[in-house]
Each structure stands twice: as structure tokens, then as C-alpha cells.
């Protein structure tokens, strides 16, 4: 009888019963056993573990949180999801490039609406469990991001507005922040009506850069003594918010009329790089009842001549090479230095079309220069190399790490993502593509990240360890 019963079962039904039994066993494993297994796994494998089943997901989330404080996290490049109209194909052969035999190509055509992480160390991709909501306007240690999201059909209306929050993709935790549009910093002086109409719902039009001050261990969940500083608005002004406050504030010491292009924190001091090349420094005293910034010094611009020459156009025969320079200010905590990095972006324009260009031409990062601050004078001193260090720049916070912490990355190199917003906005079919790394020793053309996708609406950004 039993033989007749089993003979009537199709192979599909038998496999289905086996798979059901299989997954039931995995989900019912003892938590202590799972914890022992999780202890042996790197963080990147924990990202995959979360997708097995709900019990594993919950336990893995708790486990990751406990390990974030103890372990050095891997470095990731966050690749925002895209719509069909927003993206290029991701296969290098489709865009005229050669495939890299050392790269694992794992992105599939039907996965285009899923946020992914790309590891420049092992050239692999990892899926994020939950989609990122909004644009990244800041990236901090321990995998924290500042995200800005617009709700409603209009940027500012009764139903919508700006939602700002800190988010950890690894912990899947959000910390909501006050909206800049509901704070005193949002007024006619900082956001004139004539400028609002020209802004769209890109986060960078509202917050260009953000950094944390006063947070030594990177644990946003348990700490209540830290501040956030942002570059915001069409005039690139500064504002700050202390933990627990309900409104963003400005300061009478924030007086640079030129506006700022980058900022960073070093030893409870904020270094802000102005558009004119000067650096303003403020100190925060967190021992006081109401920590506020106190102006410490102003470092006048003193860029070397070799950098200024990069602003000139170079006649390359049939093409005219037009250079654009972006600057970043970066602390090196292990060396106790402040670095100024200059990025030269080349745009190749056909000479015959020089006065008839209607859309962006191809632009690529061509070279980097690095300078160290000499606080005794003060002045910038050019560095020929950065030794065993790595520098990461792009749309979010600029940082430096030891190459020993990331053996898969090439030392003495600058890793970069596309943040040439003027051209990204001008030609939405091409922006977001300028990503790769540049080795300061060989000074050859930067090596491009041809193996990853490119997004014109939300360029890739770094998820920092």
C-alpha cells in the first residue's frame, strides 16, 4: 500500500516536501549554536545570512550590532537602485570596455531595483536587505549614513517636505533628525525664493556635505554628546545640530561669504574648506552645558602653482582638454595631519564644436594632487605620495585609512566616485560614471570601475568602516 502511495507522488511534489523539511530545520536551529557559527563569519557573510529566514535575520541583526563596536568593518561602495531610464548597462562589454578577469560579475538584469554593496577589495557584490530611501548626503564611521528624502509631489508643500535621518544599512536602524526646512536656517537669506525654483529634489541641492563632531567611538545609538555639521543651501553655508535638539542652528562665527565645498572633523574641531581655498577651523567644547562652535583659526589660500596650472585648457590637436578642479579636506588620524586633495577632471570637447556644445561631453578624472597642512606658517606642502595610506573621496565624507586595514586595495592610492554635479545635472544620460582609483606613484591614468553599474540620479557613495 505504501509503495502504491509513493509511486503516485510526482518528483516535483517529493522535492517540495524535502525542501520544506530542509528550511524548517534551518529556521529551528538553536540560537546558541547559531551565535557560535556567526562568531566565525565575517561581516560580509552576515549580510547574506540575514536572507535565510526570519529567525536568522533577527538574530543576525543583533549579532551584527554587538560586533560593530569591536570589529573593523569592510569598506563598501553603495550602488543605489535605479529605474530603467536612470541607468547604463553594467556589462563592460556593452560599453566598449574589456572584462576584467579578476572581477566577479554578479549583477543581473532583473535585479536593477535592488540596492547593492560593492567591495573594492574582493570585487564582489552584496544585496542590501532593505532599499535605501532618498539621497545620501553624508557618510560616517561604523556604516552610518545621513539620508535626505522628499515626500509629497512638491519639494515644499502642505503634505510633503524634507525628511532627514541617520541610517545604518547593516543594523537597519533609523535615527530621525529635524528637517532643515522647519529650522531658523531656512529663510530668505539662505534660501531665496529666486533659487528655490531652480532646485529639484536632489539631496545635494539642500545638503552638500555633512560630518559628525564629538563622537569618538562611532556609536550613535548609545551616545548623547555629539553634533552634526552640514553645508547646506544654494550659498553653501554652515549649520549645526547638537544631539537631542529640535532645530538646526547657524553661528555668528560662520561668516565666510564665499561658501564652502567640503568639511571634516578632527579632534573635536571642524575644518571647513571654502570655495576660495581658505580653511576655517572651529573648536567644540563638549564639557560645557551648551556646546557651540568657537572660531579657532583661518588658514588663507596658498595653493601651489602646479595646481593653478591645471585650470588652463590644453590643446590636444583635434580636441581641447578643459580642466575642472574639485577639492577635499581630509584628516589622517594615525599621522595627525590635515590633507588637501585636488582632483583634476578632464572634459574632452571637439575644437570644431567648442562654441556649439549643447550637452555635456565625456568627462573623466585625470589626476590628483595631495598637500599637507603646515600649521607653523600655515601653508600647504605638496606630497609626492601618501605611503601605505588610502584616501576615499566622492559625494560624501572624505576619509583616509591605512592600506593594511584593506589588503585588497592598492596602497598609495585615491579611490573616488563621481561628484561632478554640474555635469551630472547637465546631461542626465551620462553622469555618475566617473569612478575608480588613482595611484600616486605610477601617475598613470586612473583605473576605472568598469565592472559596476553607473547611476545618473544617485551616484555611488562610500559606506565607511
Task: Tell me the per-residue pLDDT of 137-166, one tens digit each, with 9 for 90 and over.
Answer: 888 888 888 888 766 544 444 444 667 888
Which pLDDT value is given to residue 164? 85
Compute the average pLDDT of residues 355-365. 59
Report the candidate in 118, 122, 120, 172 with the shortest Cα–Cα distance to residue 145.
172
The verdict on 258 and 206 lying in the same domain is: yes
The verdict on 145 and 94 lying in the same domain is: no
The verdict on 120 and 139 lying in the same domain is: no
Look at 43 and 95; give whichever has higher pLDDT: 43
Least confident of 9-13, 100-104, 227-231: 100-104
Which pLDDT value is given to residue 198? 47
Which pLDDT value is given to residue 251? 83
The verdict on 257 and 332 lying in the same domain is: no
Least confident of 31-45, 110-124, 151-165: 151-165
- pTM across the whole model: 0.76
Which pLDDT value is given to residue 349? 60
Report the candidate in 152, 147, 151, 181 with the shortest Cα–Cα distance to residue 164.
147
- Residue ending a domain, choose from 301, 322, 338: 301
Percentage of residues in the chain having pLDDT higher than 90: 12
Q: For 259-305, how does the pLDDT look when each residue is reduced to its tens digit (9 = 90+)?
A: 899 999 988 889 999 988 889 999 988 777 778 888 888 888 776 54
Compute the average pLDDT of residues 170-180. 82
| Cα angle 356-85-93, degrees, rounded to a multiple of 5 | 85
Compute the average pLDDT of residues 168-178. 83
Task: Decide: helix, strand or coil at residue 12.
Answer: helix
Reported confidence tier of residue 346, pLDDT bands at 50, 70, 90: confident
Task: Decide: helix, strand or coil at residue 76.
Answer: strand
DSSP per-residue string spanning 337-354: EEEEEEEEEEEEEEGGGT
Reported confidence tier of residue 173, pLDDT bands at 50, 70, 90: confident
Q: Which domain holds residue 439?
A: 76-126+303-465
| Cα angle 422-162-179, degrees, rounded to a multiple of 5 | 115
Q: For 57-94, how does the pLDDT look when each residue is reduced to its tens digit (9 = 90+)?
A: 777 777 776 666 556 677 888 887 654 333 333 333 33
Give strand pairing partners of 438: 414
The verdict on 171 and 290 lying in the same domain is: yes
Cell of 296: 579657532
How far apart are the C-alpha atoms of 275 and 236, rounded to whole Å?
A: 9
- Strands 76-79 and 116-119 turn out to be antiparallel
Look at 392 and 459; give whichever has higher pLDDT: 392
Compute the average pLDDT of residues 32-52. 74
How far apart are the C-alpha atoms of 260 and 276, rounded to whole Å?
A: 8
The verdict on 138 and 176 lying in the same domain is: yes
Tell whether the model's pLDDT for residue 24 goes beyond 80: no
- Residue ending a domain, choose from 264, 281, 301: 301
The verdict on 203 and 296 lying in the same domain is: yes
Let me know: does 335 contact 392? Beta carbons within 8 Å. no
The verdict on 363 and 457 lying in the same domain is: yes
Least confident of 88-97, 159-168, 305-314, 409-418: 88-97
The verdict on 317 and 217 lying in the same domain is: no
Tell whether the model's pLDDT for residue 192 goes beyond 70: no
Which pLDDT value is given to residue 70? 59
Look at 171 and 415; give whichever has higher pLDDT: 415
The whole-chain average pLDDT of the chain stands at 73
The verdict on 136 and 160 lying in the same domain is: yes
Look at 462 and 43; give whichever has higher pLDDT: 462
Which residues, at least 6 apart from 55, have a Cβ–Cβ distance to it below 8 Å? Answer: 27, 28
Give, in order, the Cα–Cα distances in Å from 459 to each of 82, 184, 400, 431, 456. Answer: 10, 30, 20, 8, 6
Tell whether the model's pLDDT for residue 136 goes beyond 80: yes
Percentage of residues in the chain having pLDDT higher than 70: 64
The verdict on 220 and 285 lying in the same domain is: yes
- Residue ending a domain, choose from 274, 301, 328: 301
Report the candidate in 395, 447, 407 with the shortest Cα–Cα distance to residue 100.
447
**What is the number of other CB atoms lying within 10 angstroms of the CB of residue 139?**
23
Which pLDDT value is given to residue 311? 45
Reported confidence tier of residue 359, pLDDT bands at 50, 70, 90: very low
Domains in the chain: how many in total?
A: 3
Compute the average pLDDT of residues 325-353. 81
The verdict on 293 and 339 lying in the same domain is: no
Which pLDDT value is given to residue 255? 72
Look at 357 and 328; give whichever has higher pLDDT: 328
Look at 136 and 390; give whichever has higher pLDDT: 390
How far apart are the C-alpha atoms of 182 and 248, rounded to whole Å?
A: 9
Which pLDDT value is given to residue 313? 52
**What is the number of other CB atoms lying within 10 angstroms of the CB of residue 427?**
15
Amino acid at each position: 500500500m505504501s509503495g502504491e502511495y509513493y509511486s503516485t507522488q510526482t518528483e516535483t511534489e517529493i522535492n517540495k516536501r524535502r525542501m520544506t523539511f530542509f528550511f524548517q530545520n534551518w529556521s529551528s536551529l538553536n540560537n546558541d549554536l547559531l551565535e557560535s557559527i556567526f562568531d566565525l563569519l565575517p561581516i560580509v557573510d552576515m549580510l547574506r545570512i540575514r536572507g535565510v529566514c526570519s529567525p536568522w535575520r533577527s538574530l543576525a541583526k543583533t549579532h551584527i550590532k554587538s560586533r560593530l563596536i569591536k570589529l573593523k568593518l569592510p569598506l563598501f561602495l553603495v550602488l543605489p537602485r535605479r529605474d530603467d531610464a536612470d541607468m547604463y548597462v553594467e556589462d563592460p562589454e556593452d560599453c566598449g570596455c574589456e572584462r576584467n578577469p579578476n572581477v566577479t560579475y554578479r549583477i543581473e538584469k532583473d535585479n536593477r531595483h535592488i540596492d547593492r554593496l560593492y567591495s573594492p577589495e574582493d570585487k564582489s557584490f552584496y544585496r542590501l536587505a532593505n532599499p535605501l530611501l532618498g539621497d545620501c548626503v553624508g557618510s560616517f564611521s561604523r556604516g552610518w549614513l545621513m539620508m535626505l528624502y522628499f515626500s509629497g509631489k512638491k519639494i515644499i508643500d502642505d503634505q510633503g517636505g524634507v525628511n532627514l535621518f541617520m541610517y545604518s544599512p547593516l543594523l537597519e536602524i533609523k535615527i530621525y533628525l529635524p528637517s532643515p526646512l522647519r529650522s531658523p536656517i531656512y529663510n530668505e537669506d539662505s534660501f531665496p525664493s529666486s533659487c528655490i525654483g531652480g532646485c529639484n529634489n536632489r539631496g545635494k541641492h539642500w545638503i552638500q556635505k555633512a560630518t559628525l563632531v564629538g563622537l569618538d567611538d562611532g556609536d550613535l545609538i548609545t551616545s548623547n554628546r555629539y553634533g552634526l555639521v552640514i553645508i547646506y543651501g544654494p550659498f553653501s553655508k554652515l549649520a549645526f545640530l547638537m544631539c537631542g535638539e529640535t532645530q538646526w542652528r547657524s553661528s555668528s562665527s560662520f561668516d565666510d561669504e564665499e561658501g564652502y565645498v567640503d568639511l571634516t572633523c578632527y579632534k573635536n574641531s571642524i575644518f571647513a574648506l571654502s570655495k576660495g581655498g581658505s580653511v576655517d577651523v572651529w573648536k567644540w567644547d563638549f564639557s560645557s552645558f551648551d556646546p557651540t562652535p568657537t572660531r579657532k583659526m583661518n588658514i588663507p589660500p596658498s595653493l601651489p602653482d602646479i595646481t593653478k596650472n591645471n585650470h588652463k585648457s590644453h590643446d590636444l590637436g583635434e580636441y581641447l582638454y578643459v580642466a575642472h578642479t574639485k577639492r577635499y579636506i581630509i584628516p589622517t588620524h594615525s599621522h595627525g595631519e590635515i590633507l588637501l586633495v585636488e582632483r583634476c577632471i578632464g572634459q574632452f570637447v571637439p575644437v570644431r564644436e567648442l562654441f556649439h556644445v549643447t550637452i555635456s561631453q565625456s568627462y573623466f578624472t585625470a589626476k590628483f594632487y595631495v598637500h599637507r597642512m603646515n600649521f607653523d606658517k600655515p601653508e600647504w606642502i605638496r606630497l609626492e605620495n601618501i605611503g601605505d595610506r588610502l584616501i576615499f573621496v566622492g559625494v560624501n565624507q572624505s576619509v583616509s585609512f591605512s592600506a593594511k586595514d584593506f589588503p585588497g586595495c592598492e596602497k598609495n592610492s585615491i579611490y573616488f566616485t563621481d561628484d561632478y554635479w554640474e555635469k551630472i545635472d547637465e546631461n542626465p544620460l551620462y553622469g555618475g560614471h566617473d569612478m575608480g582609483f588613482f595611484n600616486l606613484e605610477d601617475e598613470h591614468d586612473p583605473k576605472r570601475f568598469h565592472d559596476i553599474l553607473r547611476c545618473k540620479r544617485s551616484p555611488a557613495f562610500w559606506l565607511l568602516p
